[in-house]
A and B are shown apart, each in its own frame.
Chain A
Amino acid sequence: MYKIISESEDKNKIKIINIDKNDLIEFMEDYKSKGYYLSSITGVDMQDHLEVIYHIHNYDTHEYIEVKILTTDDKVPSLTKLWKAAKGDEREQYDLMGIIFEGHENLRRIVLPDEWVGHPLRKSYDLKKVQYINMDSEGKEHVSYNENEGW
């Protein structure tokens, strides 16, 4: 049985439930059976750890809930088995925030090319190191730091 660490409210009166990341699947399975659907996944970089925030929504009772877990090693379990909506969201968070969703069968970058270095929404991402993208005649994309190799 999962354990709720603490409960609070955000400024829009949405309930926040803090749980441990090992309890996530169990917790979500329970809420799925109560009629909740996944609405969005947000990763927040707190510098020493990552917060992963799931918003779930019940269309019948009009209830929105925010579920929050912490991770220090960038890894969290994937929810793709429960809701298909997680497929795209998890890929996006992996791409931009570098959260590794364990159990996602197709965890690739979604908006940036595969060769891109770094995860841009991390606070430690260096915006001054400019990367360039080029495409060969086959349509494959290549990333490099050298301006002359771009497009």
Chain B
Amino acid sequence: MAHYTELNIGPIHPAVHGILKFKVKLQEEIIEDVEITLGFLHRNAEKICELNYYADNMVYFDRMDYIDAMNMELGYLTAVEKLMDMEVPERAQWIRMIMAELNRLAARLVGLGAFGLDMGMLTPFFHCFIEREKIQKIFVEASGGRQEVNYMSIGGVYQDFNDQIINDIREFLKEFKPYLEDIYGMFMHSEIFWQRNDGIGILEPDVALDYGVTGPLLRGSGIAYDVRKDAPYLFYDKVNFNIPISHKKDNMGRFILKVEEMRQSIRIIEQSIDKIPDGPYFNNKAKKSMMLRLKGDGEVFSRVESENGEFGVYVRGNGTFKPWRVHVRSPAFKNISVVPVMAKGMMIADLIVIIGSVDTVIGEIDR
């Protein structure tokens, strides 16, 4: 008769990227089954959103995927602005795009650093955070916030870009490009990194689609789906960039793909920074004094590409100052649900690497 061991990982464990609990059923060292317990960071954001004014809810979206705050804001705003029939000036849209891509870089850097830590590689972590700190300095200059920025607002952005910020971004990109290759090299030249990732965590494309997986995880299985190309928002249709995909389907492929996506993000920023037109940076209908008097009516579902994949926001208004219902389609929630499939039949040590490769943010799963 088979003999099973049960092992609990989490909720507080450095490898689970936040607070999650994995209950693993083991036969010797081989994983038979993984059961995931969620809810340790359930902060009832959806309920609170119903109690607040439209403009107030930005705060809660910032704190969903807390390392990718700009894209979360963007997701909420694209929905709410359509609900209110609010136009966004061109300048604001370009600024939003630059900020969203910068934040994507910052989020990826945290992800890569933590991924290294999972395998006991301490060095890339420090290098990633040095670079991330530079992005945050730009954010502080533009918005005053470091991480939970609350920079975009309904109908535009909170503050205009000045020449200083544009210069800073240009300089940062120039420094960052070779640095990214350095960080990449640190991983790729490590024999241990290769052995622990090559061929580990296979995700077949049909399984991925069945589970509703999006983002790097889906592209890592060879399906070129990215909301920025699929249903372009902002001005993503006016810049040149590629959607990298990988047919390796494993951790290694996903890692290479994530770094390639960072290079594409740099490309997007470089192109858009030259294109920022002059003009207003917010819509006059949404002045700061008018912010709480905006009404929404009807229903809307809008999606953006966040760090983890397709981030969708469903908002239903009933003609008052407060939304009737806000629902979030969380990409990380879907992504984490394939971990049991990917981990089945692997060694227990591989589970840690797989979780690191899926790279979820708990704030967004539990909300």
Which chain B residues numbered 130 to 189 have a C-beta less than 8 Å away from chain A? none
Chain B neighbourhood of A40, CB < 8 A: 212, 312, 314, 327, 329
- What's the nearest-Cβ distance from chain A to residue B9, in Å? 13
Contact between B38 and A59 (Cβ–Cβ < 8 Å)? no
Shortest beta-carbon distance from A105 to chain B in Å:
14
Task: For B51, give the chain A residue with the smallest CB separation.
Answer: A127
Contact with B along A104-138 (1 / 0, CB 8 A): 00000011110000001100010100000000000
Interface assignment of A85: CB less than 8 Å from any CB of chain B = yes
A84 touches B210 (CB 8 A): yes
Q: Which of B38, B211, B301, B324 contacts A44 (CB 8 A)?
A: B324
Min distance, Cβ B306 to any Cβ of chain A, angstroms = 14
- Mark contacts of A71-91 with chain B using CB atoms, 8 A cut-off: 1 yes-contact digit, 0 otherwise: 000000000000111011000
**Which residues of B sit under 8 angstroms from A34, Cβ to Cβ?**
none
Cβ of A55 and Cβ of B366 under 8 Å apart? Answer: no
For B42, list chain A residues within 8 Å (CB).
111-112
- With A55-B301, A59-B209, A59-B223 already in contact, the answer to whether A120 and B337 are too (CB < 8 A) is no
Q: Select which of A96, A110, A112 is within 8 A of B46 by beta carbon.
A: A96
CA distance A83 to B212 in the complex (A): 8
Q: Does B325 count as interface, using CB distance less than 8 angstroms? A: yes
A144 within 8 A of partner (CB) = no
* A14-43 interface (Cβ within 8 A of B): 14, 16, 37-40, 42
Total interface residues on A, using CB and 8 Å?
33
Contact with A along B19-62 (1 / 0, CB 8 A): 00000000000000000001100101011001000000000000
Q: Is the interface of B mostly helix, strand, loop or mixed?
A: mixed
B299 touches A (CB below 8 Å): yes
B209 surroundings in chain A (CB, below 8 A) = 37, 59
CA distance A29 to B89 in the complex (A): 43
Of B39, B299, B327, B333, which is within 8 A of A11 by CB? B299
Which B residues are in CB contact (< 8 Å) with A45? 325
The answer to whether B265 has its CB under 8 Å from any CB of chain A is no
Are the CB atoms of B47 and A37 closer together than 8 Å? Answer: no
Distance from B316 Cβ to chain A, minimum over Cβ atoms (Å): 6
**B274 adjacent to chain A (CB < 8 Å):** no
Cα of A92 to Cα of B366 in the assembled complex, Å: 10
Say yes or no: A10-B212 contact (C-beta < 8 A), given A45-B325, A96-B46, A110-B39: no
When the two chains form the complex, which single residue of A10, A38, A87, A125 contacts B300, counting CB atoms closer than 8 Å? Answer: A10
Question: Cβ of B67 < 8 Å from any Cβ of A?
Answer: no
Give the docked Cα–Cα distance between A119 and B39 (Å). Answer: 15
Residues B47 and A12 in contact, CB atoms below 8 Å apart: no
User: Does the CB pair A85–B230 fall under 8 Å?
Assistant: no
Please tell me if B127 contacts chain A, counting CB pairs below 8 Å: no
List 14 A-B pairs, Cβ < 8 Å: A10-B300, A11-B85, A11-B299, A40-B212, A40-B312, A40-B314, A64-B231, A84-B212, A84-B337, A88-B334, A111-B366, A112-B39, A121-B47, A121-B325
Partner-B contacts on A (CB < 8 A)? 10-12, 14, 16, 37-40, 42, 44-45, 53, 55, 59, 62, 64, 66, 83-85, 87-88, 92, 96, 110-113, 120-121, 125, 127
